[in-house]
A and B are shown apart, each in its own frame.
Chain A
Amino acid sequence: MSSTAIEIQSKRGVWGGGNEPLKASYGKLMMWFFLLSDIFTFTAFLITYGAIRVSYPAYGGEAADFVSSNEYWPIPEMIFDAIPLVHGGHFPLVFVGLMTFILILSSVTMVLAVEAGHRNDKKDVVKWMLWTLLGGMTFLSCQAWEWTHFIHGTDEGSMLTYVNSLGNVVTETVYGANLIVNEYGPAPFAQLFFFITGFHGFHVTIGVFLLFLAFYQAAVGVYEKRGHYEMIEKIGLYWHFVDLVWVFVFTFFYLI
């Protein structure tokens, strides 16, 4: 009875192992459930943004006459109106629109890489992974610039009365933004900006690492040896999700 014979039955039951629940591989299934949990995290963030926003008065006047104040919630297109290299210009939402385009295009090159992976076409996978990687890094650089501009603020700043970190009420000109005060609107406006775009940027950063990993492994032939390009597909799911989240952030943070 010491022998451990492995009997291969022709008819295996559901509990016999070796079958794929939901006809998806373990890795893909777990990626989908991870993404579902991440959807909840991001929607919690965005709904919190909405809830805090409606708890503040809306700006009542004409959009063209908008002046920043911490008395009411700002109009995003009047806040996010800067582009690199042009100092003090007014180009509402141009830069963030460009970032959206870059991210959508990198998602397209990703799906092309996945498609090439299905065809076992190493050359195409490597080419499209490289484009996706470049798109991801460009997006991150844009976000770095956007954050820098948001933190440093405009030349004029805003005259605000607020409670500073020492608990004193002060009235002074505020430039840029931090977690206590910002020149654009109530303190939660900048806090939510940092948390939501920051958490998304963190996801993009992880995505760029994963893209680089997949690009490298595809290029040196790891997947070819493995016999399939499923890793490209799994990382693709994650990368599309990052794009999906940005679509919602763009609408709820910048448009509305």
Chain B
Amino acid sequence: MAQENKNGLEVIPRDSAKIKKIWMTALILLVVTAVEFLLAFTMERGMLLYIIFIVLTIVKAKYIMMEFMHLGDEVKPLFYSIIVPLIFLIWLIIALFKEGAEIFLMRW
């Protein structure tokens, strides 16, 4: 039931499958957050828990970027020009954590 308004922009009817997919993504994000929240109190603090947190965070980031920001629907060159520069961050993480650990040894 496409309706015309006076400016001539045609209103396309809702595609309920698309809207359902958005709400499903939302549900996944909320559930993952709830799981993180539960793990924070049930698991012992340590490297394992931190790795689980980081993995779950990257899962959430993937859903937000691919489903909400539609990065997956862009052409491949645009996709890679956003994703590939993030490799620099891996270097930054290694460099600064090493630096922090050295400062710890100097200070204490």
**B-contacting residues of A (Cβ < 8 Å)?**
22-24, 29, 32, 35-36, 39-40, 43-44, 47-48, 50-57, 63, 75, 77, 92-93, 97, 100-101, 104-105, 107-108, 110-112, 115, 118-122, 124, 221, 224-225, 227, 236-237, 240-241, 243-244, 247-248, 250-251, 255-256
Contact = CB atoms under 8 A, between A and B. Distances in A.
Nearest to B83: A36
Interface string B44-60: 01000010011011001
A23 B100 contact: no
Contacts of A247: 57, 60-61, 64
Contacts of A36: 82, 85
A180 to B, nearest CB: 19
Given A54-B104, A104-B26, A23 B78 contact: yes
A101 to B, nearest CB: 6
A244 B63 CA distance: 10
Contacts of A22: 74-75, 77-78, 81
A81 to B, nearest CB: 12
A51 B97 contact: yes
Nearest to A28: B74
A244 B9 contact: no
A50 B96 contact: yes
Contacts of B101: 54-55
Given A22-B74, A55-B103, A119 B92 contact: no
B86 to A, nearest CB: 7
Interface of B: 5, 7, 9-14, 18-19, 22-23, 25-26, 29-30, 33, 36-37, 40-41, 45, 50, 53-54, 56-57, 60-61, 64-65, 67-69, 74-75, 77-78, 81-82, 85-86, 88-89, 92-93, 96-97, 99-101, 103-104, 107-108
Given A51-B97, A57-B108, A120-B11, A97 B82 contact: no
A111 B52 CA distance: 28
A240 B100 contact: no
Contacts of B107: 55
Contact of A225 (B7, B11, B14, B75): B7
Contacts of A24: 74-75, 78
B74 A47 contact: no
B50 A241 contact: no
A110 B64 CA distance: 12
B22 to A, nearest CB: 5
A110 B98 CA distance: 40
B53 to A, nearest CB: 5
A47 B93 contact: yes
The 6 lowest CB-CB distance pairs between A and B, nearest first, are A51-B100, A51-B96, A55-B103, A54-B100, A119-B12, A22-B78
A237 B69 CA distance: 6
Given A97-B33, A112-B19, A255 B108 contact: no
B103 A104 contact: no
A13 B6 CA distance: 38
